[in-house]
Amino acid sequence: MIFLTSLIGSHHAQAQNDACHPAWPAWSNFKQTFITADGRVIDHSGSIKPTVSEAQAYALFFALIANDRESFDTLLRWTENNLAYGDLTAHLPAWQWGKRADDSWGIIDKNAASDADLWIAYTLGLAGDAWNEKRYTALSKLLAQRVLNEETADIPKLGLTLLPAPAGFALADKSWKLNASYLPIQLLRWFDSSDKDPRWKQLLASSLQIILGSSPKGYAADWILFHPDTGFTPDINGAEKGDGGYNAIRVYLWAGMLNEHDPDRTTLIKTLSPMAKLTEMKGYPPEFINIMSGEVKSPGSSGFSAALIPFLQASKASKALQQQELRLEAQAIKTDAYYDQVLSLFALGWHEKRYAFSAKGKAEMAWQKTCKKIR
C-alpha cells in the first residue's frame, strides 16, 4: 500500500511537471544554439557576434511562454547588467553590444530600440503576474514610463508617436523616420488596459496610422517617412530603398496574431490582404518587395513563411497557408539562422496554441491553464 501510494504520488508529480513545463523543442534548440550560459543571445552571422536588445526581449518572451523561469532570470540579469548599465530602473537598454573595433567587448551603440523596450516591459508585466513576482511588475511599470517619456514625440497631424529610438529619427527637414514593425497593436492595447496612462491610447491611434501609411498598396515598408505637409512617403534613400523586407515581415506577423475581437484587426487584415494574394501567387513570401509596385526582388526564407502563417490563417487564405506549411516541411529553417528562428518561435508557438493574445492584448500562456488543472 505504501509503495502504491508512493507510485501514485510520483505519477501525479510527473504529470504536474509535464503540465506546468510542456516540452517545446524549438525553444530548447534556440537556447542551445543562441544563448550563452550567462544569458546573452548571440547572432552568429555577424563578425562582431552582436547581441541586440531585441534578441534579449524576444528570448525573455519565449522563456515566459515556456514557463522557463531559470532562463528568464538569467536573460534578464544579463540584459540589465550589460545593456542597462546595471540598472533597468534608471536606463533604457542599449540596443547593440558586441566586439568593438579595439577587440574589447561591450556596448557598441548606446541608443535604445523602442520595440525591444516595449517587449521587455510587456513581458516583465506578464511575468510578474504569472509568477507572482513584484519586482518584475515594478520593473515593467518603470520601463514603460521611460518608453513614454524618452521614446515618443508629438508629431503634427499624427499625434503622440512611438519613435524607433530616443535619438536619430527626427530629421532635419522636419520629417520623421518611423517603423511600423515596432508597433505591435496587442502590446499597446495591453499597456492601455493595464497602465491607464492616457498616452497609450494616443500611441494606439498613431500606430494604426503608421501601419496603414506604411502599406499604401498592402505591402508594408521596412521604414517610412512622415512629414506633416506631405504625409507618408517611402524612405527611398535608406538602406532598404523603400522596400519591405526583414522589418516589415513582422507587421504581418503581429497583425495575424491579434485577437479576433481586437477593434483594429479587421482593418489591418484587409489593408494587408495583397500580401496574402501575392504569397499565394508566388508560392512564397518575398524577401524584399517594392511597396508601391509590388515587384518582388527575391524569395523570402522559410522563416518568412513561418512568420506569415498567423496572418494567412487570419486572412482565411487557406491555399497560401497550406503552401507555406508545405514549404516549411520541404525546406526546414536553418538551425543557426537567428532571425528566422525568432520568427518561427513567435508564429509556430502561436499556431501550436502555446499562447494567444486576448482582446486586451494580454498573452495568455497555455501552461497556466494546464498547470492549474492538474493541481
- What residues are annotated to the active site? 54, 115
Cα angle 15, 20, 23; round to 5: 85
Grid look-up 515556456 returns 66
Quick one: which H or E segment has residue 359?
Answer: none
C-beta of residue 249 within 8 angstroms of C-beta of residue 272: no
Rounded to whole angstroms, the Cα distance separating 37 from 342 reads 19
Provide the 3-class DSSP secondary structure of residue 336. Answer: coil
Neighbours of 135 (CB within 10 A): 11
C-beta of residue 317 within 8 angstroms of C-beta of residue 350: no
Query: Could you tell me which of 248, 246, 251, 222 has the C-alpha nearest to residue 235?
Result: 222
Rounded to whole angstroms, the Cα distance separating 55 from 45 reads 14
Provide the 3-class DSSP secondary structure of residue 139. Answer: helix
The alpha-carbon radius of gyration of the chain (Å, integer) is 21
Rounded to whole angstroms, the Cα distance separating 276 from 313 reads 10
Report in angstroms the alpha-carbon separations of 58 from 41, 97, 105, 115: 10, 16, 22, 10
Start-end of H helices in the chain: 2-20, 25-34, 53-65, 69-83, 114-130, 134-150, 185-195, 198-213, 249-256, 265-271, 273-282, 302-314, 318-330, 338-351, 366-374
